[in-house]
Amino acid sequence: ATTYPLSIFKDNQFVIPFFLPLYYGFLLGIFTYWCWQGKLKSIYFYLYATILLAAGIAQSSGFTITCVIVSSLSLEVAKKNQMQNFLNWQPLQFLGRISYSLYLTHNIVFGSVFFLGFKLLNPNLVTEICCLGVAILISIGFATIIYELVEKPSIKLSRKVKLVKNAEAIKA
């Protein structure tokens, strides 16, 4: 799994099936869980994480570096039995509630904000940072509106629908 971040193999999207070039991040998550559950010694997790971090820095891979940081922090929070406190944090709960609407709508919001930002302003690093901040805020706001107007009423309606058992459905 470390062959891609170490550049032993290159990510050729037409030859490599599935998500193999990103499998190291998935494996890091598995190691995090195993370590937390006592099925893997911490030294092996941190050895693997260190190799990935070094590869991420050497290859300037923000994804790899982020995977290592998030998994390491998650493991330490879990080891201190603070995962419940972290997951009950209200801003995280809110993002969890609107996450599906955010997933569905963020792409068009980001595309629109960056398109307009680059048309109206001089394209540079400051413009990109400003567009990113505006896009995040608008995405969260738009996803909240979609959640309240579409998703929440749909969930409420779905709870009113009674499912028939298989035997009853066969008779009809």
Per-residue pLDDT reduced to its tens digit, 21-75 = 788 889 999 999 999 999 999 999 999 999 999 999 998 889 999 999 999 999 9
The answer to whether residues 44 and 3 touch, using CB atoms and an 8 Å cutoff, is no
Which of 135, 73, 64, 71 is closest to 106 using CA atoms? Answer: 135
Q: Which pLDDT score is estimated for 14? A: 52
Q: Which pLDDT score is estimated for 85? A: 86
Q: Which pLDDT score is estimated for 24? A: 87
Which of 98, 74, 68 is closest to 86 using CA atoms? Answer: 74
pTM beyond 0.75: the answer is no
Average pLDDT of 115-137?
Answer: 95
Task: Please state, as a whole number, how many other Cβ atoms lie within 10 Å of the Cβ of residue 75.
Answer: 20
Q: Which pLDDT score is estimated for 127? A: 94
Q: Distance between CA 58 and CA 131 in Å, rounded?
A: 28
Residue 16, pLDDT above cutoff 70: no
